[in-house]
Amino acid sequence: MSPRPSRPRTAAAALALLTAGLAAAQEPIPIPLPMPATPSAELQRLAAAARAQAKTTPAAAEGPVRAMSAAEQRRLALAATLQPAMPGQPAAALPAASRAVVFDAVQDRLTTQFRLRPGTPAYSNAFQDQLLQMRALRAGPSVTGARVFPGAPQPTDPRSVTTTAVYQRNFPDWVQRVRIPAAPGRLRVVGGGPTADTEFLDCVALIGNCPNYGCSGTLVGKNVVVTAAHCITGGCPQQVFVGSDSRSPSRGKVFDVKYRVRHPEYDPTTDRNDIAVLILDADADVMLPGLTTAGGPARVAPRAIATTAEINEAKTVELVGFGRSQFADFGVKSQVLVTISSYECSGRGEADTFGCNPGVDLVAGGKDLDSCRGDSGGPVYIPFGTGYKLAAVTSRKTLNATRDCGDGAVNTRADVYHAWIARAAADYGGRFR
C-alpha cells in the first residue's frame, strides 16, 4: 500500500482542500483518508490551556497527568474555543484563529472518523450539519466533554438541493462567509435570526386586514416595492411597513399602497413570473427617528437590482424577510446566509425535481437554512463590494421539499424582470432608480 499524505490542519488548508477540483465537480474527488496527524500548534496551545485549567479542580489534581492523545487535544481545544466568554451570554462570531480550530476539528472528524471525501455532497452536507450543531451547543450554558462534538452526520437525500454540482462548487464560499459558531439563530430565517435594527431597511413588511396575511418586499425606488405576485390577494397588501419589527410601528414607518401591479403573465399553477410591483402613496426613502446609527437617525435607501453577470458570479445569497422563525411569528425581520444550488434552473432534471422555471428562477438554501412563511416576496441579496444588491424575490419551497420550510426555496430572479419593473413603475407614477 502506498503511503498516504498528511491532512491539512489550518483553516486555509482545509478550505483549499475543500475547494480543490470543484470547478468540475461532477465526480467525487479521490482524496486519501489518513489517520489523524499531529494537531496544529494552535490546537496544542488551546488544549494545554484547557488541561491546565482542569487541573485546578480537586478531582483532576489527584494522580499523575498522562500525556494527551491527538484526539483529546482536539476535543479540549474545541471546547475551549466554543466556550462562551460569560455563562448565559450569547456567543459572538469567532475570530479567524478560532475558526481555524473549528475547521481543523470538523475536517478531521469527517475525513477520519466518518471517512467522507471533500467535494462530495455527503461531505458538504455533513460539514454544514456539524457547524450548525456546534452553534447550538455553544448557545448552551457550557461546552464540555461529550457535548463538544455533535452526533453522527445524517444521510443525504440524493434529490436534495444541496447535492447539485453548483452547490458543491459554491459551498466553500458559504464556509468562509458564515458566522460560526454564531449567536443563537443567526444562521437561518427558518427559525430565523433577527437582523440588527438598522440592517436591510429596504426589506419591508407587507401588511393589511386580510386573514392570515403576511409577505415581505424590497424597496427598489423611492416609492416602488418589488414583491411576489402571489402576495397580491384579497385586496392586500394595503400597507407597507419600513423598519425591523412591524409589531412596533413607532420604531419604523407605515406607507399606504396606492397601486398593486401583478406581472400580466403570472401563472399560479407553475408560479412562473411570480413577481409584482407596489406603488406607495409617498416616498419611503426617509429618515426613521425611531432607529439610530452612529451618524444619527437611520435612513432608508432603495436597493439596486444586480445584473445578470453579477448574479451568475455569486456563490451565496442572503435571504431576508419578516416571516416566521423560532423567535416569533410574522413581523420580525430575520436573515440567513445560504448556498446557491441552481442559477437559472438549467441543470438536468432540476425543473421537474425542484419545481423551478428554466431561465427565470434561482434555487438556494436547504439543510435547515431557508426562507419560510411570510418571507414570500422578500429579498434575496448577493454580496457586492461592501454591501448587497437584489438578486431575486423569494417565491416558494421546492417541489420535492418534505417540509414547509428548511429544504430549500425557489426564487424569482429580479434581473430577468428589470425592464418590466421599470415599465410598471413608470405606468403608475413610480420613481424607480
Set out the domains of the chain in order of their start, with CATH numbers.
11-23+30-81+95-157 (no CATH), 193-427 (2.40.10.10)
Q: Which of 28-37, 41-50, 121-130 has the lowest mean pLDDT?
A: 28-37
Q: Which residues, in sequence order, are CB contacts of 218 under 8 Å at separation 6+?
A: 202, 203, 204, 225, 226, 227, 303, 378, 379, 390, 393
**In this predicted structure, what is the pLDDT of residue 161?**
92
Q: Is the pLDDT of residue 145 over 60?
A: no
First-last CA distance in the chain = 65
From 3-12, 200-209, 370-379, the region with the lowest mean pLDDT? 3-12
Alpha carbon distance 107, 324 (integer Å): 33
The pLDDT value recorded for residue 179 is: 63
Give the global pTM.
0.75
Most confident of 41-50, 94-103, 108-117, 411-420: 411-420
The answer to whether 346 and 327 have CB atoms below 8 angstroms apart is no
Mean pLDDT (whole number) for 225-236: 93
Q: How many residues does the chain have?
A: 433
Q: CA torsion, points 69, 73, 75, 76, in degrees to nearest 10?
A: 130
CB atoms within 10 A of CB 292: 13
The more confidently predicted of residues 198 and 125 is 125
Q: What is the pLDDT of residue 70?
A: 61
| Dihedral sign for Cα atoms in the order 357, 363, 368, 374 | negative
pLDDT at 264: 97
Q: Is 366 left (phi over 0), alpha (psi -120 to 50) or beta?
A: left
Could you tell me if 198 and 293 are in contact, meaning their C-beta atoms sit under 8 angstroms apart?
Answer: yes
Q: Is residue 396 pLDDT above 60, yes or no? A: yes
- pLDDT band of residue 52 (cuts 50, 70, 90) is low
Are 392 and 362 within 8 A, CB to CB?
yes
Phi-psi region at 322: left, alpha or beta (left = phi > 0; alpha = psi -120 to 50): alpha
User: What is the pLDDT, as a whole number, of residue 54?
Assistant: 47
pLDDT at 17 over 90: no
- Please provide residue 279's backbone torsions phi and psi, each rounded to the nearest 5 degrees: -110, 120
pLDDT reported for residue 10: 42
- Predicted local confidence at residue 141, as pLDDT: 40
- pLDDT given at position 93: 56
Cα-based distances in Å from 167 to 26, 126, 366: 11, 14, 10
**Average pLDDT along the chain:** 75
Closest CA to 375 of 364, 389, 386, 359: 364
Q: H or E element: which one contains 193?
A: strand 193-194
pLDDT above 60 (res 87): no
Which grid coordinates belong to 123? 461531505
Highest mean pLDDT among 113-122, 289-298, 300-309, 400-409: 300-309
The type of residue at 368 is: D
| Neighbouring C-beta atoms of residue 45, cutoff 10 Å | 16
- Residue recorded with cell 474545541: 78
Give the mean pLDDT of 416-423: 97
Highest-confidence range of 10-19, 250-259, 283-292, 299-308, by mean pLDDT? 299-308
CA–CA distance from 51 to each of 38, 101, 145, 316, 329 (Å)? 17, 16, 12, 39, 44
pLDDT digits (tens, 9 = 90+) for 200-223: 999 999 988 777 788 999 999 999
pLDDT at 163 over 80: yes
- With cut-offs at 50, 70 and 90, classify the pLDDT of residue 359: very high
The backbone torsions φ and ψ at residue 319, rounded to the nearest 5 degrees and listed phi first, read -95, 130
